[in-house]
Structure 1
């Protein structure tokens, strides 16, 4: 091996202009300028040279000479004194490039790792875009919401005032005028509130448009101008500048900024339902304490109807009824209407299911009722379809051995709700219908030909007589059950004994019957007897009225009606008269039902709590179609009641000569119709001629003795084109003679 020795110069000191002492190493014998030739024959020369070099001891360094101190200026060099010479070589440049590449790569990796953090440029741009949008949106929306709420409240009050004025009788005089003035005043206030709402929306849109132009105009102009002038490169430059501007606006994290959006935004503003939002809402509603939190069993999620649903566990010691009672407060905390929030128990005492619909429920068009799809007779012994709840789940009830009460203010949808039960009963040919229409408005008239008994004139005396017949029917049923050794009517027993078929008594506008001075108390007592004892005999009673208070329905009768359906009411007290005392305080009040939710009500039929349900809706044409279908099925089953027999047929059924003569007289009246039916008067000579032509032996004296007239009825009247005055017979007198002589019904 060969060793090259060089002069070693000590490193310069750290401070400039330092004093440096140079120490010269000992002299080293010079190496041969040319290495000896190494051949295959003589290798000893190289080995000997190496031994001499390695074995020769180094001479000791001479002691420094005192006084020889040289001062060196480290800046007194060429243009690049600190760059070694090898850096200018290709190897040095390669090393420098490697260091630069690694440094840049590490910087890029640090930049990538920084992006998910609050200091990342992407996160900064997101904050900048959000702050820009919040600035564009501004605070005018709060003013619009306030104006909209005011307009909504005043409009609802105007509707109520107008309804009150419309239903106030004119005979009250001053009250009618006062109600009209109140309605006009409320209408004017509502119109002004609507105009203010429209103006607030217009001002909000104008301000937002101006701020949007300031915020979004420059970025769009930069991007568009760059693309128009330089194509793709200009587009990239415009996007990069926009990104840089957004990142600059959002450079400050939110933990150092005042995020005012979290103070007022809620579900009503379109935000997502989250666990922190639930805790904040339940704290605001005073359901849980400030230091308590909810246990989320099922995370908040959107269902197919676009509503938020979650299953929550309340803190220990907090019952579910506390959350149910706070429905109004929870709705205010979520920023929605009371009817949009539904809280129900789920499994155990402290677990609830929260359901918040995005829009007001039951305001869309109702789907066709399920009865339209029936291809065969319904089964009234089974479950009856009522309608969907707020979640869209169809609800059904059983009315076997039960009775019901439907109540609500005028226009709440009692007729439509009642049709769900009436049509189901009509489509079962085995059900016997007894109907009483206290309204007298014809809502139940389409069912008349299907009824065994029907009272449509709002006559308390006639209804009381119907109840007497029904009580006698109940006694007969119990006598048959006792004979058969049975305690109550079942479906199998009713199919075997047709006289024990289900019987539905439907009473519409019960108030008219129970508040009658002469028959009211009697009707209440009979109904109470029928409801309390008729269930086991297969007799089902349903009553409908506007406000079933104690002055309308005695509490001893109302408490026996197990199925309660409270439609929209004006006060919580009115709702309690239907659902029972304390229902509104427990969070179940029909007052929360909005006027737009027609046909919706709180149904308390099964379970421990009422359920918000909208009744299946059937149009008048669909009701007519279903009644025709029910008529065909009942006719085929042989259960269609016999309709009223005409007086002519009743007379012919008597077989008496005089009865046949009176029937012939009525045929003559029918053969000479007037514009709206049979003629109400015919000349006596015309009657005699027609009767003789029909083969009857009759004279004027015989006809006069059979149909006795008063002197006024014997007076002559004009007849024919010549207006000849002739004596004749009124149709009413002929019918009266027939019914009186033979005891028939006209």
Structure 2
């Protein structure tokens, strides 16, 4: 409360005087003269003195133009006095905000009235049902009650006619000699005929009256609609006919209405977010009560009031009643969504920072169904850093989610078509754009999803060959041992970014296995692959080897639990059952409210990611189409070319032999190169002779004269005699047979390529 002193001040400032209902200033020792009453109230003397001081300050600072306003402030106002001809204007009409609130209320009221009208149509109070009742009622009125009178006169005429006929028969057959009886019979006949004639006449009159009355009422009921339809059609065609038909329908529904005796279900209007209502505390209480999370008499404690963000989504933080755990609400996600009037995928529940606290987020529309924007890697101008955090994609709030894969391993799972390949691109592309990362990829599907990365890979298995993949794992294990040997020499326990930048052998390596199920379920190689992969995952993290596996349902029959439990990053895309989701996220995740079954089919690439924190997070992977993937891989190729980290590609048989560094291996390398050169020349000659492509491809050369090979060795700077060559390359009796060689008139002895490869395999374990 601001206090304004009664003594003059040099530069007084206008302040708002506010009195709380239970607060009053202390009474002064001397009471000044009372000031005029303010708005009909009598304040204590000190309060009046302060208000009078405020008025004087206002009068001084507002100037002469506002003296009238100051006088108005002094004048008492009777709030009960108003002009009967001018109704009171509500306060909201004086502000744009008030009009907006009123308009919104009227709009929602009209929406709810329309929804009630729609729901009412399916009941006995609907307009169609009313029209049917009105049609029956009007038809019954047209028929009227004259039919009963007509039936009565008809019955009387029939009886009278029968009696007249009987009397006539009696009079006819009475003998004439019985004069008295004859006369009596004739008199009775005359009377009966008179009565019958009168009854028939009355019946005819009743029928005529019935026709006339019905015609008049039919004209009243059916005449106006028929006239309206004919007139409307004649004047404006089908539009007029439609209007007349609607008017007729309305009239019939009006005639068939009846007053409601009880409140029906359609009159109830459930407040829900799905209908556009505002989230508030009463709605939250009713929703959690309807979902059986809290009792009918219990309420929530609102920690953060419901707020609407710019995306049109509602968020709130609530505390459950004492004794109610948060996991009870998390398990009731579908029930809560139903009470909100939205889909389960639109509701995100997460445990707060204390027991019993729930963070609630409800989106306006189905999340992750809009077209994905360009991924952040498209805007990356420099190389990526795979040692840092990797952008995965936005969560339901639109916030970017990133993870670190250093010393980690991961598992990506989901049903077919859930977007595993597109989701994996977020990690693969980030690794490709870091020229320091070594890529080893294996495609168990063999469908070509990983083929665009082939040029950047040092090891690539794209044929879904379990034997080749096992050989790749063996090479990875050998590399892991070499890394640990170097770390021991350096006195380090694990690979860091500084060590990787200094020692090329310790560069980060990403082993990505797509459709792991194909490899691990192979009868011959499955158990060996599982054992080798488990060894690599458990021991390779500290050596700088990051392993990611992607598969469908990774059950124990597909991925051994001893291997699956070692994969620390879990990403569950859309699954068909909660059990399938649990095989990815871990047992109990679905019961805790984190089930990938709630991911709808149109939410491709979305799923629960459990990489960091206490709970999984719903996230959709950044999407890169084929053109964007090609553009990013082209950029990655250029980065690796500049850094000198491009893979050497597939080495020839001769190159592999030369890498052994032995004299005999050098001789065998020259022989292999000579066979390769002559075979290429033979293919070129076959193509020049006009042979077909298939014939050119099938052209091979498996034998060369010894003199040709000796000349090639001499040209390569190697002094090798025929005896030494024969001792090195052992031949069978069949291979020693002489053959015809172009340019020689006689047959000469030579060597087969099989003999060369046989020696290379025996001495060095190499095959062509």
TM class, shorter-length: 0.5 to 0.7
The separation in 1 between residues aligned to 2:105 and 2:529, in whole angstroms, is: 78
Distance 2:244 2:569 in 1: 58
Partner of 1:311: 317
Gap runs ≥5 in structure 2: 1-78, 94-101, 124-241, 252-261, 660-665, 715-728, 739-750
Q: 2:385 — aligned with what?
A: 379
Residue number among 366, 387, 391 corresponding to 2:397 in the alignment:
391
Are 2:447 and 1:463 aligned?
Answer: no
The residue aligned with 2:696 is 679
- CA positional deviation for 1:620: 1.4
Given that 2:442 and 2:512 are in contact with CA atoms closer than 8 Å, whether structure 1 keeps it comes out as yes
Q: CA deviation at 1:670?
A: 4.2
Indicate conservation of the 8 Å contact 2:671/2:756, yes or no. Answer: no
SS of structure 1 residue aligned to 2:556: coil
Residue of structure 1 in register with 2:410 after alignment: 404
1:630 to 633, 636, 639: 636
SS in 2 for 1:618: coil
Q: 3-state SS of the aligned residue for 1:358?
A: coil
For residues 335-380 of structure 1, the C-alpha deviation after alignment (integer angstroms, 9 at most, x for no partner) is 1111111011233222222111122111111111111111111100
**Which residue number corresponds to residue 56 of structure 1?**
none
Distance across 2 between alignment mates of 1:564 and 1:108: 73
Q: 1:667 and 2:680 equivalent? A: yes
CA RMSD of aligned residues (A): 4.6
TM-score for both structures, normalised by structure 2: 0.59
CA distance in structure 1 between the aligned counterparts of 2:445 and 2:733, rounded to whole angstroms: 38
CA displacement, residues 595-632 of structure 1 (integer Å, 9 cap, x when unaligned): 11111111010111111111111111211111111111
**Structure 1 residue 262, shift from structure 2 partner:** 4.8
Counterpart Cα distance in 1 of 2:384 and 2:405? 14
Structure 2 residue 375 is matched with structure 1 residue 369: yes
SS in 2 for 1:636: helix
Contact 1:362 1:390 in 2 (8 A): yes
How far apart, CA to CA, are the structure 2 residues paired with 1:412 and 1:671?
A: 49
Q: Is contact 1:493-1:500 (8 Å) kept?
A: yes
Question: Quick one: which of 284, 294, 299 aligns to 2:290?
Answer: 284
Corresponding residue SS for 2:366: coil
Could you list the per-position Cα deviations for residues 627-679 of structure 1 after superposition, in whole angstroms to 9, with x for gaps in the alignment? 11111111111111101135688899957775554233223134244665881
Q: Give the match for residue 269 of structure 1.
A: 275
8 Å Cα contact 1:326-1:587 kept in structure 2: yes
Distance 2:418 2:109 in 1: 51
CA spacing shift, 1:618–1:354, aligned 2, 3 Å = same
| Contact 2:461 2:469 survives alignment (8 Å) | yes
Q: Within the alignment, does 1:107 sit opposite 2:81 as a pair?
A: no
Deviations 1:15-45 (A, max 9, x none): xxxxxxxxxxxxxxxxxxxxxxxxxxxxxxx
Report deviation, 1:706: 13
Within the candidate set 519, 525, 529, 2:525 is matched to: 519
Compute the displacement of 1:470 (Å): 1.6
Q: 1:263 to 1:133 in 2, by over 3 A?
A: closer
Distance in 2 (alpha carbons) for counterparts of 1:483 and 1:696? 42
CA distances 1:111-149 after superposition (whole Å, capped 9, x unpaired): 547999xxxx9999999968864565444599xxxxxxx
C-alpha distance 125-452 of structure 1, shift in aligned 2 (>3 A)? closer
1:214–1:371 CA distance, 2 compared to 1 (3 A): farther
Q: Counterparts in 2 of 1:535-546, with a 5 A limit?
A: 535-546=541-552
Structure 1 residues 461-494: Cα deviation after superposition (integer angstroms, max 9, x where no partner): 2222222222222222122212211111111121
1:534 paired with 2:551, answer no
Worse-matched range after superposition: 556-565 or 489-498 = 489-498
Query: Structure 1 residues 652, 212: closer, same or farther in 2, change over 3 A?
Result: farther
How does 1:375-524 map onto structure 2 within 5 Å?
375-524=381-530
Q: Give the match's secondary structure for 1:679.
A: helix
Seen in structure 2, the aligned counterparts of structure 1 residues 598 and 734 have a Cα distance that, compared at 3 Å, is: farther
Counterparts of 2:535 and 2:105 in 1: how far apart (Å)? 78
Q: For each residue in 1:418-445, what CA deviation from the matched residue of structure 2 results, as whole angstroms up to 9, or x when unmatched?
A: 1111111111111111111111222122
Q: Report what 1:301 is aligned to.
A: 307
Question: CA offset at residue 682 of structure 1?
Answer: 5.3
Task: Kindly indicate whether the alpha-carbon contact (under 8 Å) linking 1:115 and 1:123 is maintained by their aligned counterparts in 2.
Answer: no
1:651–1:606 Cα change, 3 Å: closer
Q: Distance in 2 between matches of 1:474 and 1:141?
A: 72
Say whether 1:331 aligns with 2:337.
yes
- SS of 2:355 mapped into structure 1: strand
C-alpha distance in structure 2 between counterparts of 1:211 and 1:339, whole Å: 47
Task: Note closer, same or farther for the CA distance 1:675–1:619 as it changes in structure 2 (3 Å cut).
Answer: farther
Residues 466 and 525 in structure 2, CA contact (< 8 A), matched pair in contact too: yes
| Correspondence for 2:55 | none
**2:356 match: secondary structure:** strand
Distance in 2 (alpha carbons) for counterparts of 1:126 and 1:681 = 80
**Structure 2 vs 1, CA of residues 677 and 307 (structure 1 numbering), >3 Å: closer, same or farther?**
farther
**Residues 670 and 124 (structure 1), Cα distance of their counterparts in 2 relative to 1, 3 Å cut:** closer
Residues 213-271 of structure 1: per-residue CA shift (max 9 Å, x gap): 779x99xxxxxxxxxxxxxxxxxxxxxxxxxxxxxxxxxxxxx9889565434222222
Aligned position for 1:36: none
Structure 1 residues 707 and 326, CA gap change in structure 2 (3 angstroms): same
Moved more, 434-443 or 642-651: 642-651
Deviates more, 1:604-613 or 1:489-498: 489-498
- The 8 Å contact of residues 514 and 524 in structure 1, kept in 2 or not, is answered as yes
- SS of the counterpart of 1:598? coil
- CA distance in 1 between counterparts of 2:612 and 2:597 reads 21
Name which of 570, 583, 592 aligns with 2:589: 583
In the other structure, the counterpart of 2:26 is none
Q: What residue is the counterpart of 2:127 in the other structure?
A: none
Count, aligned residues: 517
The residue that corresponds to 1:97 in the other structure is: none
Q: Please give the secondary structure, in 1, of the residue aligned with 2:608.
A: strand
Distance 1:455 1:696, change over 3 A: closer
1:592 and 2:590 correspond: no
Which of 347, 350, 353 in structure 2 is aligned with 1:347?
353
- CA shift for structure 1 position 709: 14
In the alignment, which of 548, 565, 569 is matched to residue 554 of structure 2? 548
CA displacement 1:538-569 (0-9 Å, x = unmatched) = 11111111111111111111111110011111
TM-score with structure 1 length normalisation? 0.61
Distance of 1:123 and 1:549 partners within structure 2: 53
